[in-house]
Structure 1
Amino acid sequence: MNSPRHAKAEPVGANDNASCLKESYDLVIAGGGYVGLSLALAVRQASGLSVLVVEPQVMERMRKDERASAVASAATRMLQSLGVWDTIAPDAEPIRKMEVTDSKLKDIVRPVLLTFEGGAKDGEPFAYMVPNGAMVGALGDAAKAAGVDVLEGHSVKDFIVDGSAVSLFLQSGETVGAKLLVAADGVRSRLRDLAGIHVNRFDYDQIGIVTTVEHERPHEGCAVEHFLPAGPFAILPLKGNRSSLVWNERTDDAKRLLSMDDFTFGLELERRFGKQLGALEEKGPRKGFPLGMVLARSYVASRFALVGDAAHGIHPIAGQGLNLGFKDVASLAEVIVEAARLGQDIGAFDVLERYERWRRFDVTQMGVTCDLLNRLFSNKSEVLRHVRDFGLGMVDRLPGLKRMFIEEAAGHRGEVPKLLRGEGL
């Protein structure tokens, strides 16, 4: 029996463009979401290296994703540097204000304990809500226009590292060589497992319910995070009188909510959302995502690197998951481009170690912070409630500390890569 490394898989999907492949590339990226495409575009634009993106889905399906993501101010600067923000911006809604409450579900009044107002640097909003379909569409179009080869409807099935190259065995049946393989294939990354990289994993026994609602009154760019005993309930502004919801519940309760008819679900939604924006109507698909923390023990191996959710999955309580992925992109792209300009091997382990040193502490710090916040707020302890409410109130009265939190959320603190500063590579 043939090893999977050498088996010829049959092509799948109508979009079979495997015949356009070169025999070898400088960089192959497995995963064509926002993280994979932005990395491909950044490296291709700045260096001219040959780049292939292998994506199991077909782009047209990805463009129809009706969900939205919070994109921090620094990440929008990167998208501007890559030349795609002007295409995305008409669909993006700025977050100009955020209110934080802490209450029980049955509480009639939910006093606002902490308010973040104003922008990040230079008057920019500290984040935007961006439709996923618009973002992946703009990045995909720009990557192809820049000369990135995109193989849709296929995946990397296996790979072998042999000295100065890595051989990739694709689902199309083709074999492609590369100097470096980057896995951007999500939190359940197969390639991470094949590379022998282990993870630290924790299950929160929570499900994040994501949907879109329409409301009578305008949100005026205000995001709201209600901390409830079961977990945070976030209301995030979209274009028009619409908001995206990220609603965390214990697993069993979330499954019941997801299976409810529209009327009953609407009643439960209103109990948590409140009536401050008038009548509500669910407009988007209702989906649930199990929540946990996954941190890779290493971000690199021989001719191999992890980015985005393949390297880290954290609790959405701070809305930083995608932004950590964009920071990976900016850091790895800078490392690759600088190495190429110096005539170094972009897949060499000492080159990749620069990327790991740059990102690992930052990601671990954010993952632990989100874990602690979730434990602190997602419980029924009255003692902890009084402690955290006192803490939120103190932060609200200290402008310097509030500014620090805003800059952290906007992605402007720490050792910021060039792209996140709005600079070219």
Structure 2
Amino acid sequence: MMTDKRELLILGGGLVGMTLALAAAKKGISSHVVDRADPSELTAEGFDGRASAISTASWNLFRNIGLADALEPHGCRIENIAVTDGMKPGRIDFQPEPHEGTLGRMFPNRTLRLALFEAAKDQPLIAWHGSTNVMERHRGEHGVSVTLADDTVLEAKLMVGAEGRGSPTREEAGFTMAHWDYRHRAIIIGLCHERPHEGVAWEIFYPDGPFALLPLLDDGEGRHRSALVWTVAEKDAAGFLALSDRAFLYEIEKRMEGIFGALALAGHRSSYPLGFQHTAKLVKHRLALIGDAAHGMHPIAGQGLNLGLRDVGALVEVLTEGQRLGLDRGDAQMLARYEKWRALDSLMVMGATDSLTRLFGVPGKLSSVIRRVGMAGIQRAPILKRWFMDEARGMSGQLPELLKG
């Protein structure tokens, strides 16, 4: 039986868990990262067709921890977000001022994973434990530990639950969750299209759910590409997934009304159920939750990963400050500060997202008219528009240092 003691024990090596390990290492904080999967599986070509919108604040974080150079060539800049009610007249355009740069960048998840693993590989402060299961978790008076499937014991001062929505660490610690199921499913696929997207992300709202087109860089053969995230009712999902490629493409074309010209499918369709979940508390004795383990939200505003990256920035800042004051990594008051900082911000973002989902999901002609009147109001109200854009760029609220420019 072997033990190896570090400061953080990060359970879950996905995008948020790995970013935490790297951000902590930049501040001289060592960690163990444990994941059931192997990096080669997580970065395999077909593993995850999803793409993520990285907000301005999250991009600052990547730049501050030294990932920007590796990522820059692969990111597609989001120059504008067009919001429309079923392609009817009266769309809103969110376009930043020239001096503000972009609204964010779109990256394939695989690209983000590769950059994170590549950076972590040469970082002595990060010990990676992949393809393994946690058999036992222990949080004691002076530290924490886990026993892995091969009887290895890993020890640290603070445990961090970062395994995503179904977090076993959170479940075992008995956190209470508020959650509801939207009874909707997101279908994800890449599209190649005839006309360039010009950096525009489209959010088209239909009564059966939002239809989002997210700009990606042209592929190696110069074809214009976007990622489609299409929300459908759970009862209709199996039918849409079973359609032939040709019939599926026809359904997409019908909803896009020719904005990008001729279309072709790129890659395979994948899908996942949508729900809302949020823990009122984010910390317990020597334990902190980050990312989807703490809050899982609707992908409508593309803010799920960005919310997790704000958790990372806040936790690292609180830990660094604690270090300066000579506090233990698991100090209860320090963790309470992290919880207070993040709980309100994440609930605000999630509440706004949830309201948007419900507002645009109300069927009928009258509700469509009301929505379009509201959208026209936002289009003409610079203060409201500015608020929405700051939210999209992740530049609102009390920002952790690592997420500032």
**What TM-score range do you get, normalising by the shorter chain?**
over 0.9
Shifted more, 63-72 versus 130-139: the winner is 63-72
Measured on the aligned residues, the alpha-carbon RMSD in Å equals: 1.5
Tell whether 2:83 aligns with 1:100. Answer: yes
State the match for 2:140 in structure 1.
Answer: 162
Superposed CA deviations along residues 124-162 of structure 1, whole A, max 9, x for unmatched, are 201110111111111122123222111111132331212
Matches within 5 A, 1:158-307: 158-240=136-218, 241-307=224-290
Q: Secondary structure at the match of 1:187?
A: coil
Kindly state the Cα deviation for residue 119 of structure 1 after the two structures are TM-superposed.
5.0
Shifted more, 387-396 versus 374-383: the winner is 374-383
Q: Secondary structure at the match of 2:312?
A: helix
State the match for 1:71 in structure 2.
Answer: 54
Superposed CA deviations along residues 254-285 of structure 1, whole A, max 9, x for unmatched, are 22111211111111111112212111111022
The residue type paired with residue 169 of structure 2 is L
1:158, 1:259 → 2: CA distance? 41
State the match for 2:353 in structure 1.
Answer: 370
2:13, 2:137 → 1: CA distance? 18
CA contact (8 A) 1:30 1:155 kept: no
Q: Secondary structure at the match of 1:343?
A: coil
The residue type paired with residue 121 of structure 2 is K
Residue number among 319, 328, 339 corresponding to 2:302 in the alignment: 319
State the match for 2:101 in structure 1.
Answer: 124
2:19, 2:97 → 1: CA distance? 25
Tell whether 2:288 aligns with 1:308. Answer: no
Tell whether 2:42 aligns with 1:62. Answer: yes
Kindly state the Cα deviation for residue 171 of structure 1 after the two structures are TM-superposed.
2.5
1:419, 1:157 → 2: CA distance? 34
Kindly state the Cα deviation for residue 22 of structure 1 after the two structures are TM-superposed.
4.8
1:215, 1:395 → 2: CA distance? 30
Superposed CA deviations along residues 231-251 of structure 1, whole A, max 9, x for unmatched, are 110001000100001100100
Kindly state the Cα deviation for residue 92 of structure 1 after the two structures are TM-superposed.
0.5
Residue number among 5, 8, 11 corresponding to 1:30 in the alignment: 11
Matched residues, number? 396
Unaligned segments of structure 1, at least 5 residues:
1-18, 104-108
| Structure 1 ranges of 4+ moved more than 3 A | none
Q: Secondary structure at the match of 1:153?
A: coil
State the match for 2:116 in structure 1.
Answer: 139
Kindly state the Cα deviation for residue 59 of structure 1 after the two structures are TM-superposed.
1.0
State the match for 1:12 in structure 2.
Answer: none
Given the superposition, is the C-alpha separation of residues 402 and 355 from structure 1 closer, same or farther in structure 2, using an over 3 Å criterion?
A: same
State the match for 2:390 in structure 1.
Answer: 407
Q: TM-score, normalised by structure 1?
A: 0.90
Superposed CA deviations along residues 300-335 of structure 1, whole A, max 9, x for unmatched, are 011111000000001111111110000000000111
Tell whether 2:316 aligns with 1:328. Answer: no
Q: TM-score, normalised by structure 2?
A: 0.95
1:336, 1:189 → 2: CA distance? 22
Kindly state the Cα deviation for residue 112 of structure 1 after the two structures are TM-superposed.
4.2
The residue type paired with residue 355 of structure 2 is L
Matches within 5 A, 1:29-48: 29-46=10-27, 48=28
CA contact (8 A) 1:158 1:191 kept: no
State the match for 1:149 in structure 2.
Answer: 127
State the match for 2:68 in structure 1.
Answer: 85
CA contact (8 A) 1:200 1:296 kept: yes
The residue type paired with residue 164 of structure 1 is H
Kindly state the Cα deviation for residue 196 of structure 1 after the two structures are TM-superposed.
1.1
The residue type paired with residue 249 of structure 1 is V
